[in-house]
Amino acid sequence: MGRQPCCDKLGVKKGPWTAEEDNKLINFILTSGQCCWRAVPKLAGLRRCGKSCRLRWTNYLRPDLKRGLLSDSEEQLVIDLHARLGNRWSKIASKLPGRTDNEIKNHWNTHIKKKLIKRGIDPVTHEPLQIQSRSLETSSENNNNSHSSPPESGNASGNSDENSSSSPPDNCSTLTSEEPEKLFGSLCDDEKLLNYLLGNDEPPLVDSMTWELQNNLQSFENGCFTSWDDCATWLLDCQDFGVHDFGLDCFNEVEMNILDMDNKQPK
DNA sequence: AACGAATTCAACCGCCGGACG
DNA sequence: CCGTCCGGCGGTTGAATTCGT
């Protein structure tokens, strides 16, 4: 029995989003919040699949997104997390505020992979390439006991357990004795981040979020945008200038304010 | 300037798992 | 327990852009 498609394929537009579509989606989510994505296209007046709307929102339109290339420390963080988690891009993205899984995945495939190979590190196993080729020879002798296998290879069953007691500890052991220090080296100036990565601390983004919230709320007058144009401009500014780290909690507050404004001041 | 190759990244596809009736 | 719905995920594609000749 075939599943119903996620949306009516007929009449559904594909390809790049236009500014008008973006505005419609932003407008809808600002006024109605993120509800059932399946219903979003209809309610927002878009000829798009619900999935496509969700993707567009999460990967591009969300106001808390950073734009631009990953910084060096972000890159190191991605490398380390990849060593622990494998290709679980969403998990990795969740540790990098303002970054999306798609963005990290793309950056990994286009930049980081090459850098690691240049440094002589296998981007899949995070082992030095020479050691890996040697271990490949030996592993053919005892092939089933593959602790040096790619992190994601043990994940083929789709086990995406958050605390993941399974693969991450093993993955750490795939690094040479120098690697972890090398990888952490550039992160050591960010103690909170480091503690979090080592599992000793809470995520470090809370402080920055509240800090950014304070700053971004200055964009509002009495907690409200003075007009939709202001709001849209604010959203676009957030994207263009990389305003980040204030998370969707803040956004919910904005949204509530707008709803509140709508109630008080009908257009 | 023109062309092809290489690179980038937004968007799509299909699968999976949780929630729910 | 089973079937369905839906959101989310990771892999892949292909148009746009950049680079090299």
Which span out of A15-29, A112-126, A183-197, A215-229 was modeled with the highest average pLDDT?
Answer: A15-29
Percentage of the residues of chain A whose pLDDT score is greater than 90: 10
* Structural domain total, chain A: 3
Question: For A34-72, how does the pLDDT look when each residue is reduced to its tens digit (9 = 90+)?
Answer: 878 888 988 898 989 888 999 999 889 988 888 788 888
A169 and A103, same structural domain?
A: yes
* Cβ of A36 less than 7 A from strand C: yes
Containing structural domain, residue A101: 72-139+162-201
Residue A2 lies in a domain: no
Q: How far is the CA of A121 from the C1' of C18 (A)?
A: 27
* Cβ of A248 less than 7 A from strand C: no
Assign A171 to helix, strand or coil.
helix
Residue A82 lies in a domain: yes
* Cβ of A113 less than 7 A from strand C: no
**A129 vs A123, residue with greater confidence:** A123
A131 and A84, same structural domain?
A: yes
* Cβ of A164 less than 7 A from strand C: no
A130 and A29, same structural domain?
A: no
pTM, 2 dp? 0.62
Q: Whose CA is nearest the C1' atom of nucleotide C6?
A: A38
A193 and A212, same structural domain?
A: no
Query: In which band, very low, low, confident or very high, does the pLDDT at A181 lie, cut at 50, 70 and 90?
Result: very low
A133 and A212, same structural domain?
A: no
A33 CB-side CA count, 13 A: 12
Query: Tell me, what's the pLDDT at A235?
Result: 56
Percentage of the residues of chain A whose pLDDT score is greater than 70: 45
Mean of the per-residue pLDDT values for chain A? 62
